[in-house]
Every structure is written in structure tokens, then in C-alpha cells.
Amino acid sequence: MTAFRSPAGGRIDRSKPIRFTFDGRQMHGHAGDTLASALLANGVHLVGRSFKYHRPRGILSAGPEEPNALVTIDRGGGRETPNLRATQVELYEGLVARSQNRLPGLRFDIGGINNAFSRFLGAGFYYKTFMGPQALGGAKLWARLFEPAIRRAAGLGRAPAGPDPDRYANRFAHCEVLVIGGGEAGLAEALRRSEDPACRVILCDEQAEFGGWMLVEAPERADEMVKALSARPNVTMLRRSQAFGAYAQNFVAIAQQLTDPLATTDAEAPCERLWQVRAGEVVLASGAIERPLVFPDNDRPGILLAGAAETYLRRYGVLPGRKIVILTACDTAYGAAFALQDAGAEIVAIAETRAAPGAGDIAARALARGIPVLPGTTILGTTGHLRVSSVRLGRIRPDGEAEPSGGFTADTVLMSGGWTPSIHLFSQTKGKLRWEEGLGAYLPALPAPGQAIRVIGAAAGEMPAGMRSPALGALPVAGSPDRVKAFVDFQNDVTARDLRLATREGFRSIEHVKRYTTTGMATDQGKTSNLNSLGIVAAETGRSVPEIGLTTFRAPYTPVTFGLFAGQARGDLFDPVRRTPMHDWAERNGAVFEDVGTWKRAHYFLPRRPVDATASGHAAMHEAVQAECRKVREAVGLFDASTLGKIEFVGPDAAEFLERAYVNPVKGLAVGRCRYALLLNEAGFIIDDGIIARLAQDRFHVTTTTGGAARVFGMFEDYLQTEWPDLKVWQTSVTEHWAVIAVQGPRSREIIADLVEGIELSDAAFPHMAVREGRITGTPCRLFRVSFTGELGYEINIPAGLALPLWEKLAERAAEFGGGPYGTEAMHVLRAEKGYIIVAQDTDGTMTPEDMGLGWAIGKKKPDFIGKRGLMRPDLTASGRKQLVGLVAEDRSRVLEEGAQIVPDILAPAGSHAIGHVTSAYSSAALGHGIALAVIEDGRNRIGQLLHIPMERETIAVRVVEPVFLDPEGARLHG
Amino acid sequence: MLLIRCPWCGMDRPEIEFRHAGAAHITRPGPPDRVSDEEWAAFLYLRDNPKGRVAERWRHVHGCGRFFNAVRDTVTDVFVVTYKAGEPRPPETGPGESQPTEARP
Amino acid sequence: MVDGFADTSRFRLVEAPPLARFVLRAPDTALKAAGKAYGLALPEALNHGASHGERGKPGARVALHLGPDEWWLIVPEAEGPDVAAALESALGSHPHSLVNVSHRQVGYVLEGEGAAGLLNAGCPLDLSEAAFPPGMATRSLFHRVGLMIWRMAPGLFRLEIDRSLAPYFVAALAEAAKDHS
Ligand SMILES: [Zn+2]
């Protein structure tokens, strides 16, 4: 039997002892305990150090509102969670808990020195020090002295460094009624609503058991109600489930703990689940939270809320202490007093802040039990190093001050300032609140438009008279209230003095006071402090609470792990990874992949022969790319172009639509022919390019860039549906239906010739920029005679599921001809040698066709196309625009850096206007020197000029040349 | 997550199935040679940003694929009405001021 | 059965055999003719599916009405060319678009009493029978990818996912299944 465990009672399982450690110390508890109740059973109140002053702090509450008892739970193997509230952590065998924010230990903490300097750490300390006059060294002092020290000393638990080994799950759920809070009101509502079997009811509660306060007062009734609900198939009951966010249209986010600490769990099973619930109606039955009282030294361990003490006793069989003084502003504390007295504790006195004790005969009953009741009395101070040991009482005078009236020794002080309805979730949905003077609290008034949210029970202010108290703010003190530390916000160490100071310095709105003093801004979001803060500011400024305003309630109601939000989206499931049908072949053949959008594309292929161990990765890549380029220029290369976007346009108006969409003339395109096509936005800038191929009078096969596929398809859908809905044409994405194998190089025709059926391949019958439908190795295909390399070439479109065998066959043949696969890097080099642009590399969203030397593509006679009017804007027709040119460094071996800025003058000082920049730069195997594409102001008129690229250590001289470096006549295309 | 009623599907569907597509009822001026630079600039770049009801375009991209229009209140996020592309904005939907709500600091 | 997918008594995921798939875009006026040529009346109500025969078996026909003027037609692989030819000739006088997308997608069957619950791990729709009754078919989302969901019976869903996204879908579903065993 642990020291403070009552001999009987409570809902713990006394037959199941549980061992756990706190800061390395072995202790015992029972199944059904929380860490907080087990610590109290072991006589431990001191559980943490406060945020700013490092004052010793104890357990204040028995629920999610706990501001002090934050612990790190270490489940081993990287499963370490900081900042958990000990009042919500269920005990399990072997639990390892550590206190936080202490240096080096809980009982002796050097950070407590902040406490000695607390006069300097008051309201707005951070701001004042940072903004302070330079003469006083404000900013410097902050940076050098205060910030490092405070950062070291202040703070919460430490975030774990390793990856989180746990799993997190997600569920979307729908119901007619979501009941939040499984106390008496919530259970009754769930029972009533679920009588209709067609009404799906979800009931959630943050605790391991449903019942709420009934678990203290009437556990049998709770059990009955839970049993009745469990029998109904239309009811989903979520235990350990905190509704932490309420959003528009009855959408609620719930964090459910899945790891039942007492059960052996499946290692594969998730530990938390995010419920995203859409309800027909949300019923908020979230109860009420007891308010602390604000008196000097009210933060010592051993001082806790009266309702929490009663909960610990009656639900967990734990006595928080043996010699107890009670300070109360409402009647509920009497219940705690009587129960504790019955359990053997001495109730030294009940100090009543009210002049006349509460309803009915409650005070008389206390007196009959031999408990002194002291009306109009408050606590003027407490003593005790790591735990309260005595209290000094004071009589409240009519003038609002207090005078000493004796004292008591005590190991525990219970306080009750009344009960605050938990309206956080209602407020999150932007519901309107109203101030209820008699409760000293806000109540729900009117749901926001579109919200079906109803608040019931204590959360709606439905409380017996004994729970109601208008008391708010700081209690009277003897002498100057600025000489004492009466805490309002325990977690952020904000005192009544801080709040008064803020109002004296001119802060009026509670939102400003909050930011200045940080009250209510800790992870508990001021659940126990907000109303007392309001009360103090109201008293200080002589206004009513509603005049001061109310800070905004925001999700999450209690802190939520990052893992819950990430859910499944981590590792391989972070984002889809798209692979082409040839991916595995490429991988087996040494491909190094690059990400292009969500696609994996073979960047280059590392030859299987051992790479020179001294060669860097960059050198190996260079060598591979040069070899791939040579193969294409000298023999034949295979390129996986499957990721290109492909759209099939069909309908009598297909040509008309494409004519309006692209800059090119399309209506005149003959069946069986292709055209390089440019797509602009309405501003006139290039956004995509590709090939338009006419398969029939009313059927086109159009390609887009890999990265632009989805965007372009969406843009066309927009024009089809909303701009030109009268056109009879439809588009269908066939990107994933067709795999594309580009066969490029002087030997390309030879390696496909005998595989193709039904297509005459001669240059005359099937010229450059033509398309045919036929078969290859017996499979239907679309064969394009197109080239992005400047060589004779084909692009074979073949159904994706049938592409790999064809690729393998072609790869074998290519190898026989001295060719092979090439990756996207070689593709980039090959096209740059020909001056073919890559949209979004050589263009940046501000380039016109004319800028890129592609003005020839525009159908000049077309009355309109997307971007035509944009191209007529004065800025786009002005001279001096940047134009695409080629660059070769005077040191020809030099490969320039993409993005490098270009200036005309070798001695241009730093910061000079740059006339352009390098967009593409490679080492050309075919030419044996470095080449680059660049966009330069008035570039075409500068061909032949010498320009300069200032780099970090040198300035590189470059010559402007035509952007086509190889075969400008195009002879190789027509092999 | 909001629910949005797709006027084509006739169903309330979750927001993540939709894509926002900018202001509604913007007419593309033309033909190009009759449009002034000012008119074109306005078409490209000038949009209202009202506090209150706004008519905007959405596409049910992960559903029926159709574009439609919606009148939404930018303060409360409430969708007042949705209607098919090409249909006029229901006259009773504004443009109007939304109910004032507290500032969100 | 699909690799890497835990099979439980509560749900089972099976990959479809190769099938021929077409996207038909046409105005309502072409529906009758299309249905006649197809051998199955195309459902007029949006977000509905119709079928006869057994998947992959001769004569099987599926028609899914997924957009106001959009139907997906799914037939046994070998019957694709004939079905396309029949439709093209029947629709000759109606403006329309018929496009072969056989390899664009991968089909799955997800069945079992836990199937709807499993889909709700990543699909935001209400998949109760009242809100999503048998016969309903629609595009939606599963986590990061779009998919087509067609409920044939209370515990029987047919799904279609773009080919390159299918591995992600299966892996994401398998991950979700760890919360449903
Ligand atoms: Zn829709």
C-alpha cells in the first residue's frame, strides 16, 4: 500500500499493481490510475518547474486543463513524447516518465535563479529588452545575455531527435449526431438520439472511461448508461478521443489514442488515429473546468483544485494530503471537504471568500462535522519549499483589502473559484458567446451560420447553484498587491501583477494584454487562467469583462502530435511516386533517376563496368552522358518518353479548338502530319509546348511537357467548358495509356524496320513530322517521325502494359548497333546542341514566342488564339526584350553555370544591371566544347559580341552565337 | 473541410475534391484587334477582393470534372449557392455585405 | 490478390484482369444509339454504373456515368476492337468522342464487410449504404490520388486507378489496413 492510497474505493483495480518510474525513481500504482493519481498516491506533488521562474510546481487538476504537470513519456526505441499532461497519461507496467524544464534536477534547479530576478522578468520583459534604447544596450543585451540564458532555462520538454517509429491512422467518418464529451449530459444525449436506429451517433471522450464526473459521484449509473449505448449498433464510442478542432459545417477533428497501455499491442498497429468527422449535428457536452483562485503563493506543490482532489479520492482512491485547508468561492469544495474528511484527512478549515457561505445548510453541515468555516476570508500567503507547509489567512475588509487573521500549518490547500463552461469548440466554429455575470463566464449564444452545433449540460451553463460563482480576478491582499506573486497563468508564469502592469502601461484590449504578458498563450491555452485574467484587467481598468473582449479560441484544444497530422503521409507514402513501364529495366541497367514532378525518370545510365574509384560522382555522370550523346549521334539511342502528357482530341470541332488554343495554324494540318506547337497563357507568355498530330479529320493526338500535363489538361477543360462550350470537341487524357519509346539516331530506322507492320518507313512515304497508326511486334501503335535530338528519329507510342517487351527487344538491337539507352541529361544536351528550348528551363513565364526565336510558329492570319491579344501589349512588342541566343566561352572547354548573370562590360562593378542570364549549359560531346543557351536583352543583334559573366573568383568572357550549334540545315533529320 | 454542393452531381461533396478557379463572370474580351490595352489588362489582372459575397469558379475535378460557379461569403466561408457555368448569378445573392463578425486577430 | 496487401476476413483486394476501356463523350441524344450498339443501356443518371455479365467473361459490359456527358465503357480485352467499331458506326451521325484508354488504368475489386470502412481511411465520402448505395459510381480521392469507386453491392467495390498511381494506392490501402485488422 502506497502512503496516500485510501484503503478502499475508487475505480482502480487494486488486484493489479503496476510498477513505473518517475525521474528514475521506482514507484507503484494500480491499473486504472493516471500518472498523476499514481504520483499523488506515492506522496509526490512536485512534478515540474515553471516556465519562466522555474518555481516548483505540483499537480493542479485532474484533466486536460492541467498547466503544470507536463512530463515526457519514454516508451523506448525512439517512442518519446514530451509535454504530456500527467493527469491524462494512463499508467501501465514499466511506464517511464520524466519531469521537464529542470536543470539539473527537479528538487534542486539552478534555473530557479530566474525567480530571484523575477522583478526584471515581468510583463513585456522580452519586448522591452529587445526594443530598449541602444544607450542601455537593449538589443545587444538581449542577444548576448538574456536570450541565451532564457532559452536554455525556459521551455518545455525536448523534441525527440530520431524518427518516430509509430504509425498514425486516419479515418473519415459521417454521422447524424456527434456528441463530444461522455459525461452525464453527453451519455444521456447519445442514448436519446440513438434510439432511432437510422441515426448514426458518434460519442467521444478524452478519457479512458466514459462517465465524466459520474465516475466520481455515481459510477454505477455511468456503467449502466455505457452498457446500454454499447449494445446499439448505430453508436460508435470513441474513448481516449479528444475532439480538438471544430470547423465549418459540422466538421470535427478528433485525436484518438489507440495504444491501450494495459493491453499487449500489435507492433504494426497505429498508436493514434485522426478522425475527421462530418456530422449532421454536433452536440457539445464538454462540461466545465474549475477555476483556481488568485492569491499570493498560490502555485506551491500541494495546492490544487478542490474538484481535482475529490476526483483523486473518489475515482482513484488517493488522498492528496492529510492536513488540508480549503479556500473557496463556491459550494462544490464542501463536497471535497466532506469526502476527504470521511477518508481520514483533517480538514483544518474552509476559508470562504464569500461574505456569506453558499446555498442552504452547506456551511452548517461543515460546522456539524467539526470543520471551521471562515466567511470573508482569503489566503495572504503560503510557505513551504517544495511543498506547501502553512498558510496565512486574512479577513477581507469592506474596502477590498485584507488584514492578517492568523494561519495554519497544512500539507495541502484546495481551491475553487467556480466553474467555467468549456465552450472552446463552440467558439472555434465562430459561434457567438454571451457573458453570464452569475457564472463569471461566457456561454454559447448563437451558432455561426451553417453550423448545427448545440451545447448541453455544464458547458451550456446548466449547473446547480452550488457550482456557480461570479468570482473572478485576484483576491484581496494585505498591503501592496505588487509585492506578492499571485499566479494567474501557471504554465506561462503570469502573475496578477504582470497583468496590472500591462494595463498601467496602456494595454486595454485583452488581445494586446495577452500578447504582452503571454497569459493564456502556453500549450494549455489558458484553460484555467483566461477568465481570471479578464477579471483582473476589468477591475484594473474599471470596465466590465465584455468590454475588454475575449481572446480567440483556436484548435487544437489540447496539443496534438505532429504524427497525427502527418498520418500515413510519410516515407514512401509521403507523395505518390510515379514510375514508367520501363522503370525496372532502367533500374537493372544502372539508371540514376531524377524527380520530374512526381515521376521518376532515368537521368543517366552508369555503365556496369567498375567506375574508376577516384572519379567523383560528377565525373562518372559526365562520362556517362557524353557516351550516351555519342551513341545517339553516331548510332542509335533509346529514350523513355512515357511521362510526356498526351491528350486525344476528338470531335468535329477538334481542329477549330486546337487552332484557338495553340499559336500554330492547325486547321490546315493534313491527316498524318505533325506540328511543333506552342501554348501561351492569355498574357502572351509561353507556358507549354509539344506536338500536335492529326490522326483523322476529327481526331488529334497532342503531347504536352511532363510537368505541364495536368495543368494544361485542366486549362483546356476550362476553355472547352466555359469559354467555347459551343465547340463539339472533347479531350481525353491518354498519358497513361501510351508508353513512349523514342528511337533516335542515324540507325533508328534500321532497328525498327522489320518490327513495324502496316507503315511504310521510307523518308518519302513517312517524312519528318509525320504520324502513322499500325502495329509493332504485333501490337497496335502510333508511330511518330519526330525528333528532339536533331537526328533521324521515331517515337513509338504503345499501350503501357505492352511496352516493356518492345523496349527490351529494341535495347538488344540498339546494343548490337553500338547504341543504347539515354537519359534525360543526354536528352537535354542533344536538344541544346540543336537550340531546341525546354519550357520552364529556357523560359521563365515571361518569354514570348518571338523572344525564343519561335515567332515562325504563330499563325499570323488567325483572328484569335490564347495569348494573341497579350502578345500585342506594348511591353511585349517593345525592342530590347531578352532573346534566346547561344553562348560559347572564349575558353571553349569551359561549361558555364546555369543561372549565371551576363554583363556587357568586363569591369562592370558589382550590382551592375545584368543584361541576361544563362538558361542551359552543357559540355557537348559532338562539338567537343562547352555550349550554352542564354536569354539576353536584344540578343539577336548581339551575335558575335563578346560579353562577360562575373563569377565569384573570375570573370568569364563569352561569345554570343546562333542558338543552333549543330547541323543548322537539318540534314541529319532527313536521313 | 468545407462541403460544396456540385450543381452537376446534385450532391454535397468534400472540398478536397474541388479546385478553385478564380473569379466568375469575367468575360474574355475580343476580338483581339478591337480590345484596348486597358481592357485587356483589366481582364488579365484586375479582380475584386470583397469582404462578403463573391462569385467564383470551382471545378469538381475529382468528381464529375465540371466547372461551376459559386457565391461564397469570404467572411463566414458559407457557400450561398452554386450554379452551373454559363448560368447567371442568382440576383438575390448579392453582391452584398456579410454579417459583421469579430475581427480575427 | 495483390502483393503486399494483407488479406483478412473483413476485406480482400483483387486486381482485375486486362480489360478494354473506353471513354465515351456524347450528348444525351446519342445515348439510345450508343446503348443499342453497346449491348447495355448507358445509365442516364449521373454517378451511376450499370453492368451485365461477369468481369472479364465474354459478353460482359460495364457502363459508368461519371460526368454529365462522360461514360466509361469496360469490356473483356478481346472484345475491345469490335465494341469500338460497333459504337463508331452507330454514333456516326452524332458528334461524339470515343477514346481507347485500356491501359490508362488498373482495376481492382475490394470486397468484404470491412471494405467501406477501409476506403474511408483515405476517401472523404460518406460510404454508408444510404449515402452511397449499390449502383453508385463516382470519381473521388484516396489520400493523395484520385480514383473511381463503383459500389456493385454493399460489400463489393470496383475501383479504377491511373496506372502509375496504382502502386501508391495499393501501398496506402495496405498501410490503412493495419488500422483495420
Ligand atoms: Zn460534380
Predicted confidence (pLDDT) per residue in B2-36, tens digit: 999 999 999 999 999 999 999 999 999 999 999 99
How large is the average pLDDT for residues A675-693?
Answer: 98
Instruction: Provide, as residue numbers in chain B, all residues whose Cβ is less than 8 Å from the Cβ of C46.
Output: 8-10, 64
Cβ of B31 and A864 within 8 Å?
yes
CB-nearest partner of A869 from B40, B67, B73: B40
Same domain, A683 and A583: no
Task: State the pLDDT at residue B101.
Answer: 39
Cβ of C171 and A573 within 8 Å?
yes
Select the more confidently predicted residue: A609 or A198.
A198
Closest to A481 measured CA to CA, from A384, A378, A373, A354 = A378
CA of A164 to the centre of ligand 1 (A): 39
Instruction: Provide, as residue numbers in chain B, all residues whose Cβ is less than 8 Å from the Cβ of C138.
Output: 9, 63-64
Going from N- to C-terminal start, the domains of chain C cover 19-100, 104-177
Write down all domains in chain B, each with its CATH number in brackets.
Answer: 3-91 (3.30.2270.10)
By DSSP bridging, strand A730-733 and strand A699-704 are unpaired
Is A615 a residue whose pLDDT tops 70? no
CA of B60 to the centre of ligand 1 (A): 5
Task: State the pLDDT at residue C30.
Answer: 96
The whole-angstrom distance between C103's CA and the closest CA on chain A is 4
CA A901 from chain center: how many Å?
Answer: 37
Q: Mutate one of B5, B6, B62, B67 to test the C interface: name it (highest C CB count within 10 A).
A: B62
Instruction: Specify the amino acid at residue A715.
Output: M
Same domain, A258 and A357: no
CA of A567 to the centre of ligand 1 (A): 28
Task: Choose the weakest-confidence range: A105-114, A233-242, A626-635, A648-657.
Answer: A105-114
Ramachandran quadrant class, C12 (left: phi over 0; alpha: psi -120 to 50; beta: rest): beta
Task: State the pLDDT at residue A382.
Answer: 97
CA of C171 to the centre of ligand 1 (A): 28
Nearest chain C Cα to B14, which residue? C124
- pLDDT tier at A549, thresholds 50, 70, 90: confident
Same domain, A756 and A828: yes
Does any domain span residue A363?
yes
d(C-alpha A161, C-alpha A114), whole Å:
28
Instruction: Provide, as residue numbers in chain C, all residues whose Cβ is less than 8 Å from the Cβ of B14.
Output: 124-125
Closest to A307 measured CA to CA, from A550, A488, A469, A99 = A469
Does any domain span residue A531?
no
Cβ of A450 and B76 within 8 Å?
yes
- Interface partners of chain C (CB pairs < 8 Å, 3 or more) are A, B
Cβ of B28 and A449 within 8 Å?
no
Host H or E run for residue A96: strand A95-99
* B13 touching A (Cβ < 8 Å): no
CATH number of the domain that A321 lies in?
3.50.50.60
Cβ of C124 and A577 within 8 Å?
no
For A402-440, write each residue's pLDDT tens digit: 999 999 999 999 999 999 999 999 999 999 999 999 999
Each as own residue / partner, the long-range contacts of residues B24-32 (CB below 8 Å, 24 or more positions apart, any chain) are B24/B55, B24/B56, B24/B57, B24/B69, B24/B70, B24/B89, B25/B55, B25/B69, B25/B89, B28/A682, B28/A723, B29/A869, B30/A864, B30/A869, B31/A863, B31/A864, B32/A863, B32/A864, B32/A868, B32/A869, B32/A872
CATH number of the C19-100 domain: 3.30.70.1520
Does any domain span residue A833?
yes
Residue A904, preceding peptide bond in cis (omega within 30° of 0): no
For C40-93, write each residue's pLDDT tens digit: 999 999 999 999 998 878 999 999 999 999 999 999 999 999 999 999 999 999
Cβ of B63 and C70 within 8 Å?
no
How large is the average pLDDT for residues C129-150?
Answer: 97
Task: State the pLDDT at residue A268.
Answer: 83
Does any domain span residue A813?
yes
- Which residues are registered as beta bridge partners of A180? A204, A284
Q: Mutate one of C69, C96, C148, C163 to test the A interface: name it (highest A CB count within 10 A).
A: C163
What percentage of chain A exceeds 70 in pLDDT? 93
For A278-334, write each residue's pLDDT tens digit: 999 999 999 999 999 999 999 999 999 999 999 999 999 999 999 999 999 999 999
Tell me, letter by letter, the H, E, C secondary structure of A699-752: EEEEEECCCCHHHHHHHHHHHHHHHCCCCCCEEEECCCCEEEEEEECCCHHHHH
Task: Choose the weakest-confidence range: A658-667, B73-82, C5-14.
Answer: C5-14
Give the position of cell 514510375: A579
Same domain, A747 and A807: yes
Same domain, A945 and A896: yes
Same domain, A863 and A890: no
Domain that holds residue A44: 13-109
Task: State the pLDDT at residue A585.
Answer: 97
Ramachandran quadrant class, C149 (left: phi over 0; alpha: psi -120 to 50; beta: rest): beta
CA of C124 to the centre of ligand 1 (A): 15
For B35-66, write each residue's pLDDT tens digit: 999 999 999 999 999 999 999 999 999 999 99
Q: List the A793-799 sheet strands across, edge first.
A: A756-757, A770-776, A779-785, A793-799, A738-744, A637-640, A820-821
Same domain, A30 and A90: yes
Mean pLDDT, chain C, whole residue set: 94
Is A915 a residue whose pLDDT tops 90? yes
Same domain, A76 and A128: no
Same domain, A704 and A753: no
Does any domain span residue A61?
yes
Nearest chain C Cα to B8, which residue? C68
Cβ of A170 and C25 within 8 Å?
no
Cβ of B85 and A683 within 8 Å?
no
What percentage of chain C exceeds 90 in pLDDT? 90
Cβ of A717 and B65 within 8 Å?
yes
* C3 touching A (Cβ < 8 Å): no
Look at the pTM and tell me if it is higher than 0.90. yes
Same domain, A750 and A817: yes
- Which residues are registered as beta bridge partners of A29? A18
Task: State the pLDDT at residue A589.
Answer: 95
Using CA atoms, how far residue A529 sits from A540, A818, B57, in Å, is: 17, 79, 45
Does any domain span residue A542?
no
Task: State the pLDDT at residue B97.
Answer: 47
How large is the average pLDDT for residues A773-783?
Answer: 97
Same domain, A407 and A446: no
Q: How many residue contacts between A and C have a Cβ separation below 8 Å? A: 118
How large is the average pLDDT for residues A791-811?
Answer: 98
Mean pLDDT, chain A, whole residue set: 92
The whole-angstrom distance between A857's CA and the closest CA on chain B is 19
For A151-185, write each residue's pLDDT tens digit: 555 557 778 888 888 999 999 999 999 999 999 99
CATH number of the domain that A67 lies in?
3.10.20.440
Same domain, A866 and A884: no
Mean pLDDT, chain B, whole residue set: 89
Task: State the pLDDT at residue C19.
Answer: 96
CATH number of the domain that A887 lies in?
2.40.30.110
Select the more confidently predicted residue: B76 or A187.
A187
Cβ of C97 and A729 within 8 Å?
yes
Chain B 61-90, CB below 8 Å of chain A: which residues?
Answer: 61, 65-67, 73, 76-78, 85-86
Cβ of C66 and B65 within 8 Å?
yes
* A454 touching B (Cβ < 8 Å): no
The whole-angstrom distance between C106's CA and the closest CA on chain A is 10
Instruction: Provide, as residue numbers in chain C, all residues whose Cβ is less than 8 Å from the Cβ of A729.
Output: 97
Cβ of C18 and A266 within 8 Å?
no
For A469-527, write each residue's pLDDT tens digit: 999 999 999 988 889 999 999 998 999 999 999 999 999 888 899 999 999 988 888 99
Cβ of C139 and B10 within 8 Å?
no
Cell numbers at C40, concatenated: 447495355
CA of A560 to the centre of ligand 1 (A): 34
Is B104 a residue whose pLDDT tops 60? no
CB-nearest partner of C68 from B11, B13, B66: B66
The whole-angstrom distance between C4's CA and the closest CA on chain A is 14
Q: How many residue contacts between A and B have a Cβ separation below 8 Å? A: 69
Is A13 a residue whose pLDDT tops 70? yes
- pLDDT tier at A116, thresholds 50, 70, 90: low
Instruction: Provide, as residue numbers in chain B, all residues whose Cβ is less than 8 Å from the Cβ of C123.
Output: none
Instruction: Provide, as residue numbers in chain C, all residues whose Cβ is less than 8 Å from the Cβ of B8.
Output: 46, 67-68
Task: State the pLDDT at residue A371.
Answer: 97
For A51-96, write each residue's pLDDT tens digit: 788 889 999 999 999 999 999 999 888 788 889 999 999 999 999 9
Task: State the pLDDT at residue B92.
Answer: 81
Task: State the pLDDT at residue B105.
Answer: 34
Instruction: Provide, as residue numbers in chain B, all residues whose Cβ is less than 8 Å from the Cβ of A448.
Output: 76, 101
CATH number of the domain that A725 lies in?
3.30.70.1400
Tell me which CATH homologous superfamily contains domain C104-177. Answer: Probable tRNA modification gtpase trme; domain 1 (3.30.1360.120)
Instruction: Provide, as residue numbers in chain C, all residues whose Cβ is less than 8 Å from the Cβ of A599.
Output: 164
Closest to A224 measured CA to CA, from A184, A264, A276 = A184
What's the structural domain count of chain A?
7
Does any domain span residue A947?
yes
Task: State the pLDDT at residue C123.
Answer: 98
CB-nearest partner of B8 from C68, C141, C146: C68
- Interface partners of chain B (CB pairs < 8 Å, 3 or more) are A, C
* A718 touching B (Cβ < 8 Å): yes
CA of C96 to the centre of ligand 1 (A): 21
Does any domain span residue A658?
yes
Cβ of A722 and B105 within 8 Å?
no
Task: State the pLDDT at residue A552.
Answer: 81
Cβ of A269 and C179 within 8 Å?
yes
Q: Is A221 exposed, middle or buried (0-12, 13-18, 19+ CB in 10 A)?
A: middle
Q: Is the ipTM of this complex over 0.85?
A: yes
Q: Is A222 helix (H, G, I), strand (E, B) or coil?
A: helix
For A96-107, write each residue's pLDDT tens digit: 999 986 665 767
Ramachandran quadrant class, A487 (left: phi over 0; alpha: psi -120 to 50; beta: rest): beta
Indicate the DSSP class of residue A142: I
